[in-house]
Amino acid sequence: MLKIIDTGSDGHIHTRLCNHAVGTMEEYVLAAMDRGLHSMTFLEHLEVGIHSSPRTWLSRTDFEEYFREGNRLRARYADRITIKLGVEAGYNPHETGNLRAALRQYPWDRVGLSYHFYLVGERHCNLVSRRRENLDLLAAEGIDRVVTAYLDGLLAGLEVVQPDVVCHLDAVLRHHPDIRLGKDHLRQVDTLLAAMAERGVALEINTSGYSIRNCPFPEPGILGRAMALHIPLVAGSDAHRPEDVGRFFQRLPDYVTDAAAA
Ligand SMILES: [Zn+2]
Ligand SMILES: [Zn+2]
């Protein structure tokens, strides 16, 4: 029987190239082999037209190094682990043309869709940050409204980014104490999942959620609905430190089974 989720493969790994992670690419490869993974996918941050400092994504020069070093590692460890070079593309509703153009420049093994930055006035606020000033600005904007815009953005992003996988689907405002998805939001999620199923886009189960809210992204209700639509699942640690590669993956088989039964 085909496994519902492959926990021998980590589909979401960052490196120090993104400016907010630590560890070289090789240190992540060594960590993945240490964990006994048979494959790993670097999924580094690409953002287009975002005004926010410090920069938390890769520049063009960074991506050149990413592919150079990634290809070297791929060859060096070819007999021990499969290494893929992908991108976590941040959706930006105001720069869709430039985003498409940027994505066309590289031969990605996998494209992940996320939506990280939301424009409040002249300022881009990080939707998944724990920084107080970000959370306050977004809360002043209205949590419901921001969540609605976030889910709309992911839906629109399917067309613009043409992703293989949607990352941390319900991670929006993950550090805000009042975050919850209302009935209308869940209807938006259903529309999004239906569009993903139609396009064959996978859903990431992002285990960084275990550290933040003791439950991965997405929550079991959303995961169950995705599984009912036969959307493929991908495990991702969202590692920003080598020791986080494959974190909590041993919990995923039960998590998935329980979500399917609920
Ligand atoms: Zn990151
Ligand atoms: Zn992300």
Quick: pLDDT tens for 57-88.
999 999 999 999 999 999 999 999 999 999 99
Q: How far is the CA of 261 from the centre of ligand 1 (A)?
A: 32
Q: How far is the CA of 1 from the centre of ligand 2 (A)?
A: 31
Kindly state which CATH superfamily the domain 9-261 is placed in: Metal-dependent hydrolases (3.20.20.140)
E strands of 142-257, at which residues?
165-166, 202-206, 233-236
Q: How far is the CA of 144 from the centre of ligand 2 (A)?
A: 20
Point out the ligand nearest to the CA of residue 114.
Answer: 2
Cα–Cα distance, 223 to 168 (Å, whole number): 11
State what percent of residues in the chain have pLDDT above 70.
99
Rounded to an integer, what is the distance from CA 7 to the centroid of its chain? 16
Point out the ligand nearest to the CA of residue 127.
Answer: 2
Residue 191 neighbours by CB under 8 Å, 6+ apart: 155
Q: How far is the CA of 14 from the centre of ligand 2 (A)?
A: 10
Point out the ligand nearest to the CA of residue 14.
Answer: 1
Pairing of strands 9-13, 233-236: unpaired
Tell me what pLDDT residue 166 has: 98
pLDDT at 137 over 90: no
CA distances (Å), origin 80, targets 35, 67, 242? 12, 19, 18
Point out the ligand nearest to the CA of residue 21.
Answer: 1
Cα–Cα distance, 218 to 231 (Å, whole number): 13
pLDDT at 1 over 60: no
Q: How far is the CA of 167 from the centre of ligand 2 (A)?
A: 7
Q: How far is the CA of 258 from the centre of ligand 1 (A)?
A: 29
Token couple for 24 = 């070289």
Q: How far is the CA of 4 from the centre of ligand 2 (A)?
A: 23
Token couple for 188 = 């938006």
Q: How far is the CA of 45 from the centre of ligand 1 (A)?
A: 7
Point out the ligand nearest to the CA of residue 166.
Answer: 2
Q: How far is the CA of 255 from the centre of ligand 1 (A)?
A: 24
Q: How far is the CA of 115 from the centre of ligand 2 (A)?
A: 7
Q: How far is the CA of 15 from the centre of ligand 1 (A)?
A: 9
Point out the ligand nearest to the CA of residue 167.
Answer: 2
State what percent of residues in the chain have pLDDT above 90.
82
Residue 2's pLDDT band (boundaries 50, 70, 90)? low
Rounded to an integer, what is the distance from CA 97 to the centroid of its chain? 21
Average pLDDT over residues 99-123: 95
CB atoms within 10 A of CB 104: 8
> In degrees rounded to 5, what are phi and psi of residue 119?
-85, 120
Q: How far is the CA of 1 from the centre of ligand 1 (A)?
A: 34
Cα–Cα distance, 34 to 241 (Å, whole number): 14
Tell me what pLDDT residue 132 has: 85
